[in-house]
Structure 1
């Protein structure tokens, strides 16, 4: 007998735990994390330590920004179960790092790396940030308008430097020139085009022409321009050529790049000078100037570098001579390629690299190293500037946030194309009022939560006298709003912002009151035909009763239960009574004292809500309408 009782107890415990978990799942899916935590915890206390319960507890705390509890439950899951989805490992690492457990996070990162090598987010793991790869392709809080410029040719066009409303760039569009064997396109020349730039867009008032100098462009490559602030000196890259205008080769038969400068004399570039730190056995090119023009930056594959090509700096002295080139070091340079430096007016260094986490080939990065900050690594500026192809030659006007970059991404006109861009900070407002859905009265004291697309709570406000709430959010995102107030049902709204900057999304939250006159009013508690057990949907509704009784500790209620007309009248009277008591027992199981439920009585089919009396042909839905419960307030 004891064995049978033990087995029966285990069966009942498992059934209760399963029901509890299903109910918790429903609240979790509705973003009601605190209620879900309570129910998952209750299931866990009853012996359900399944991976589902443990990870859901972790997720509920994680989404509610409680990193300490999230780490605890993810840790419980990971320690108990070896085969856990990479998503939970990733969140566990995030939670550990959030609470400062860096060593433990590193340990699990190594575990994750061994088990899930293909998880793209882990490629960017570093001591400061684990989700950088996600951010490279995610929406930003700015709108970036990108345009393939109208003057691109079917050959290579790249680079871009603006001075005095003129854009300078390199192009292989001159079909009369010799063909470069590498890509079977003409050699590059330097071109210029007049432009009209305002705060919102760029337009062009002419066609490109070769740079106004016969001495700058030769029969071979010229590219990568930068001009001094006073407009009197231009630096550019050129193939190494002889005095007879022939290509010069090293012992391996390779032609290297060199840096040159020219002076503006009578409105033309002339007096071409080769810079003294060039060499015949390595390349020097891609010039850039510091904001104060006292330092020249360039790219070289010279000996002593850290990778295939590195970025160097050389001081420009007052007498026009140069100091010794210095490698920018491992905070910028890698074992890969660093190329195309550019320094903006605010002294931000931009460059392209394939040596850092990237979306493919060369990506554009930025660094504050020139501002004296050597603590942070370069930042990948992400999509849409970067793609799975080569993205390089970045230029930006720090004042207008308008600029150019180059790319060989699909959809262009030639092998390399120039793209213009302008960036606009994109923010929208979500605002509205919290109201009583029955009376339309403004409600104060409503907790309004803003959740992101994954269900994580990112902001929370409480409505005051005016009943108004508002959130400032990013464009092109999906958000969820949840309004919650004691003695009211939760109201939920979904919002999808678009790319319309400064748009206002007006959305009222209408909370349905739970207490109306002398009743606690919830959606009908339905029962399956001929059964009295509490279904999951019924449990979900009964939690509203639990919340009201907890809020009002002196409240006493009575429960009335009703059946449909199918079956004998006497049987239905007994069935409804079992349902009323089953409802009462559920409330008691949730911690409500038994003496707060004055009575739980069944009325059978004596008070039908429709015409479905004995021997009447009705649908299941019509019969179900009569299977219901009421909750009357006896004492407050």
Structure 2
């Protein structure tokens, strides 16, 4: 009897778990993720969870952007079943990236690469490039981005900004609390508007949001994602599929899809709502945006024939107001994941959000040149535009470099928040004082050149009376500062600017005088052992002698040359004499009159500068010190 009762309990328990799973599936399929989570977790508590339940739990949390919980359930599913579909592995990787666990994400990405070769979402990923996520999360090297959570955000979802004639349009769930959306238990979205005022300090202020003017656009269901024509007369927007009685329409599976509609501005109100002809009841069409000339409409759809879960399409708008055939933007933009929220700036740069291109987790914002030239791989905008959360709905005025993004990052006020941004170039200064070596006398009229990494002279200035100079430069760049003045050796300094806006870098220049007492002082003129040929490094130094002689046409010099102690004394005397005459010959070859060199004489090893006399063991460096030349001024106003 006990066995029969136990069997009956087990059957009832199994049946109840099956029923709860089916009910949870129903809520999941209708985007009621919070209720689905509750029911699935009840099944888990009873020990009846299979791979389907575990992956559905992961998906429910993933779709509600709870990456930590999503990663937990995906990991549980993967640990209990080796044959989990690749799609769940990818979502697990996305969840790991979102919470910053890039190391574990890389491990699973390698596994996915082995199992899913050809997946478009694997493009651009190099498992050996350990710095790739550091690059995406680090500050941009040549710009400063100011990101601000805006004052008008609510505790509900606010997203999808579009600015036209100082009016900002966006979607918000701050509506009727009595009717809520099953996905997130928030009110349905409506389109709101507010005025943006430009303050004298360059900042913007915002009026209180109000619902879109006109009763035709906002229904009791979802409206979002606005695009307005240049003349301000036509609005494109996304809405749930509703019938003439403002009730939801469903497909055979019981799912309501999205459609794009237009509205016309009459006076100050939007009216005459019209559905676009390429919508359908069996797939979604939404997130409209226009090309700068308003002749092309871009949108998102999950219609058949696409590449991934949702793709971005384009459709021509004809002069008579009709539409061409929608065209998929192809695999330069679309992946096997989700591409959403397209936007085209006035400069024709194409922006969109994706979880299929290499990202930080969930949706990231990308830009592409697909409308301007031969398309290249879309570029992830990186931090601070992107985070480990959903970052989307990019809007920018390409002239002012100001705009808006939407994100559900945790520091926000609601489910999704709108952030304004301002992009400025990251700039610094390089400044310094030119001084004379030893005496530290301030040097005016020093020519200071700013040279970039390619060797190009960007700017040239003269130091002021106080010896000062200043250059405005970019952040995270390497520059050479070259200071020159007649009768002085040049000074050259290299500096790499940091990634810190408005930083002032000090680079002082110290120039050595070429004329000191009765000598022209240059770095030693060295010769190879037992040779009198003028080496390239010696020629470089001798150019200083040439410059001084050109600057002072009355100057007459004499040259002395010396050897080390190696070799016979008489031979060294002759060798040094050859070296002195080779030095004189080079100077004359540079256009200096031979009469200005009174003599060029060698002294062999008779005037050594160190201990390295005959028989003393010395290094090559020590011997080289004694292989030198001197340049004495014997007649000049500079003597």
Normalising TM by the smaller chain, what interval?
A: 0.5 to 0.7
Distance in 1 separating the partners of 2:493 and 2:330: 56
Contact 1:146 1:420 in 2 (8 A): yes
3-state secondary structure, aligned to 1:134: helix
Change (3 A) 1:316 1:177: farther
Distance in 2 separating the partners of 1:445 and 1:488: 10
Distance in 2 separating the partners of 1:558 and 1:592: 7
Contact 1:448 1:463 in 2 (8 A): yes
Distance in 2 separating the partners of 1:402 and 1:498: 20
Change (3 A) 1:341 1:448: same
Distance in 2 separating the partners of 1:226 and 1:329: 23
Partner of 1:231: 232
Partner of 2:547: none
Residue 300 of structure 2 corresponds to residue 299 of structure 1: yes
Partner of 2:620: 588
Distance in 2 separating the partners of 1:169 and 1:273: 20
* Deviation for aligned residue 1:349: 1.8
Contact 2:300 2:339 in 1 (8 A): yes
Contact 1:483 1:511 in 2 (8 A): no
* Deviation for aligned residue 1:141: 2.5
Greater Cα offset, 240-249 or 302-311 = 240-249
3-state secondary structure, aligned to 1:369: coil
Distance in 1 separating the partners of 2:346 and 2:385: 20
3-state secondary structure, aligned to 2:193: strand
Change (3 A) 1:347 1:184: same
* Deviation for aligned residue 1:195: 1.1
Contact 1:287 1:297 in 2 (8 A): yes
Distance in 1 separating the partners of 2:459 and 2:623: 28
Contact 1:288 1:343 in 2 (8 A): yes
1:392-441, CA deviations, whole angstroms, 9 ceiling, x for partnerless residues? 11111223222111111221111111011122233333244433232325
1:466-503, CA deviations, whole angstroms, 9 ceiling, x for partnerless residues? 5887654224x586877799978987878657423xx8
Distance in 1 separating the partners of 2:302 and 2:366: 20
Distance in 2 separating the partners of 1:459 and 1:386: 35
Distance in 2 separating the partners of 1:217 and 1:230: 22
Superposition pairs for residues 255-274 of structure 1, below 5 Å? 255-274=256-275
Contact 2:199 2:205 in 1 (8 A): no
* Deviation for aligned residue 1:343: 1.6
Provide TM-score, normalisation by structure 1: 0.58
Greater Cα offset, 324-333 or 186-195 = 324-333
Partner of 2:370: 369
Partner of 2:397: 397
Distance in 2 separating the partners of 1:364 and 1:313: 19
Partner of 1:318: 319
3-state secondary structure, aligned to 2:624: coil
Residue 408 of structure 2 corresponds to residue 408 of structure 1: yes
Aligned-pair RMSD on alpha carbons? 4.3
Contact 1:436 1:443 in 2 (8 A): no
Distance in 2 separating the partners of 1:144 and 1:199: 21
Change (3 A) 1:520 1:162: same
Partner of 2:384: 384
* Deviation for aligned residue 1:165: 1.5
Distance in 2 separating the partners of 1:141 and 1:506: 20
1:38-73, CA deviations, whole angstroms, 9 ceiling, x for partnerless residues? xxxxxxxxxxxxxxxxxxxxxxxxxxxxxxxxxxxx
Change (3 A) 1:151 1:445: closer
Residue 419 of structure 2 corresponds to residue 419 of structure 1: yes
Change (3 A) 1:436 1:549: farther
1:65-110, CA deviations, whole angstroms, 9 ceiling, x for partnerless residues? xxxxxxxxxxxxxxxxxxxxxxxxxxxxxxxxxxxxxxxxxxxxxx
Unaligned runs of 5+ in 1: 1-112, 124-132, 522-546, 560-576, 598-632
Distance in 2 separating the partners of 1:291 and 1:139: 27
Distance in 2 separating the partners of 1:284 and 1:556: 88
Provide TM-score, normalisation by structure 2: 0.57
- How many residues align structurally? 430
Distance in 2 separating the partners of 1:139 and 1:368: 19
Change (3 A) 1:435 1:195: same
1:163-191, CA deviations, whole angstroms, 9 ceiling, x for partnerless residues? 22110000111243411111121111111
Change (3 A) 1:554 1:252: farther
Unaligned runs of 5+ in 2: 1-123, 522-536, 543-558, 566-607, 634-639
* Deviation for aligned residue 1:314: 1.1
Change (3 A) 1:197 1:518: same
Superposition pairs for residues 87-98 of structure 1, below 5 Å? none
Residue 172 of structure 2 corresponds to residue 171 of structure 1: yes
Contact 1:136 1:381 in 2 (8 A): no
* Deviation for aligned residue 1:287: 0.5
Partner of 2:223: 222
Change (3 A) 1:447 1:324: same
* Deviation for aligned residue 1:593: 7.1
Partner of 1:499: 501
Contact 2:137 2:387 in 1 (8 A): no
Contact 1:362 1:390 in 2 (8 A): yes
Partner of 2:336: 335
Distance in 2 separating the partners of 1:317 and 1:199: 42
3-state secondary structure, aligned to 2:371: helix
